[in-house]
Structure 1
Amino acid sequence: MTNKLKQRENYPILVIYSTDNSFGFGYRKNNNSESDQLFIKKFDNDLCNNLINDLIKFISKENLQKVNKLSVSVGPANFNASRLIVVLARTISQQINCPLDSFSSFEIMAKRIASKNNIFINKKSFWIYKKLKRKGIIAGKYEICHNEKNTSDLVIRETVLPKVIKELDSKELFFEAIYDAKEDLKELLDLSNKNLLNSNVDSWKTVLPLYPISPIN
């Protein structure tokens, strides 16, 4: 292991996440899940202001300035929350000159869904979907790339970014999206940490909310 990689392992990571009815922050002090700190809160009437206030309570100014990697979920989830947390993440990334990357909400939950349904044993790909209030669904496709006997080693790749489709092919394997703020925050920290260790970092300019339909749907 190079000295550069050893140094990177000690870099703090901050992640910002939202579901249909909640938002949360995750902080990993070093390359060790035992150092993880999580914060989860239900939406309220003043999400914009409370999002910032809760972040200030969650992480000190000193620790925020030390963050070396920032990751954010971009949806599909609550449209306003997705937009607000992406704006917040981009702002922080720009101000502290910190690389920012993003993951769809479905990609974050894909490993949990695959493990829960034991599909990693003999299935290579599956869909995750979310029903729209009107017609149609939002769905993304995921492929199992690698796994050992231990499900914690499961690696899943997003092959189709969540998008609006009329219906799913009955021949395909698919599961409904189920948000789990606590578990998905942990997974987002793992994904963020993996990208950092592999030097997969991006500019904040490329990160945008993912919501395939207009907010009125």
Structure 2
Amino acid sequence: MSRWLLALHSSSETLGLAVCDAENPAGGTRILSRSMGRQLTNGLISAVEELLPRAEWASIGRLAVSTGPGGFTGTRLTVVMARTLAQQLGCPLHGESSFALMAPRLSVALSASQALEPFSIVQILPRRGRVAGRYRLLSGSIPVEELERPHLLSEDEDPSPALSMELDVASDVLHLLQRCCHWEQEAAPGPWELVLPIYPTSPVGPV
């Protein structure tokens, strides 16, 4: 009987899901990447069922979810689903920011000297300012360390070097699954209570 590792990512209009057998992660990884938009509210569960039939959910042994930043509703939906599954199944859950997931991919744009130092990933939000996280490249099975989780920058903050946020949900959810495999190999604890969505700005504006 398979023991499944499941990764979920919905910090944008695109839903990303990835699953593999914990005993054979390289032998049967399955990925779903689909533009959902507002259909995510009603289509999330059926999309997960498409990748991993509901009859197999009891065999989920570990979960990982992107915690944002991103769309308020999309990020919340997958985080809530992952938390609920982890609580009901009694399995570990890990959260990773969407910026941390893209950091290894975007870091190829850094110069050799810049790659030795911390760098930022920045997203410009229309009428809401700029959101940035700070990262450092590592060697080994964990490619990046999140030094500062994504947060709203003040007007006078100008992090450098800085890379622009760039979506590639299929690549990033696969990276999230690979992180999940690493945590599985390390038998890392993953308390679901600690996994919460990142909301750098308020959905109703300044409060």
Same fold (TM over 0.5): yes
The equivalent residue for 1:75 is: 68
SS state at 1:68 partner: strand
Indicate how the Cα distance of structure 1 residues 60 and 119 shifts in structure 2: closer, same or farther if over 3 A, else same.
farther
Q: Normalization by structure 2: what TM-score?
A: 0.88
The equivalent residue for 1:7 is: none
User: Which of 139, 142, 146 is the aligned partner of 1:158?
Assistant: 146
Q: What does 1:99-178 align with in structure 2 at a 5 Å threshold?
A: 99-117=92-110, 119=112, 122-146=115-139, 155-167=143-155, 168-169=157-158, 172-178=160-166
> Matches of 1:44 and 1:185 in 2, distance apart?
17
- 2:133 and 2:151 in contact (8 A); partners too: yes
User: Which of 185, 197, 202 is the aligned partner of 1:214?
Assistant: 202
User: Which of 82, 89, 92 is the aligned partner of 1:96?
Assistant: 89
> Matches of 2:137 and 2:14 in 1, distance apart?
28
The answer to whether the aligner puts 1:41 opposite 2:29 as a matched pair is: no
Out of 101-110 and 26-35, give the one that drifted further.
26-35
The equivalent residue for 2:180 is: 192
Indicate how the Cα distance of structure 1 residues 39 and 128 shifts in structure 2: closer, same or farther if over 3 A, else same.
same
> Matches of 1:54 and 1:166 in 2, distance apart?
38
User: Which of 52, 59, 62 is the aligned partner of 1:59?
Assistant: 52
Indicate how the Cα distance of structure 1 residues 161 and 63 shifts in structure 2: closer, same or farther if over 3 A, else same.
same
Q: Normalization by structure 1: what TM-score?
A: 0.84
Tell me the CA shift for residue 54 of structure 1.
1.5
Q: What does 1:1-40 align with in structure 2 at a 5 Å threshold?
A: 11-30=3-22, 31-40=24-33
1:64 corresponds to which letter in structure 2?
Answer: W
Structure 1 gaps of 5+ residues are: 1-9, 148-152
- 2:19 and 2:51 in contact (8 A); partners too: no
> Matches of 2:36 and 2:63 in 1, distance apart?
22
Tell me the CA shift for residue 200 of structure 1.
2.0
- 2:136 and 2:147 in contact (8 A); partners too: yes
Percent identity over the alignment is: 28
> Matches of 1:41 and 1:23 in 2, distance apart?
5
- 2:114 and 2:161 in contact (8 A); partners too: no
> Matches of 1:34 and 1:19 in 2, distance apart?
27
Indicate how the Cα distance of structure 1 residues 134 and 89 shifts in structure 2: closer, same or farther if over 3 A, else same.
same
Indicate how the Cα distance of structure 1 residues 116 and 213 shifts in structure 2: closer, same or farther if over 3 A, else same.
same
Indicate how the Cα distance of structure 1 residues 128 and 119 shifts in structure 2: closer, same or farther if over 3 A, else same.
farther
State the Cα deviation string for residues 156-214 of structure 1 (Å, max 9, x = none): 100001100125436x2110111101110110011111122122222111111111111
> How well do the aligned residues superpose, as a CA RMSD in angstroms?
2.1
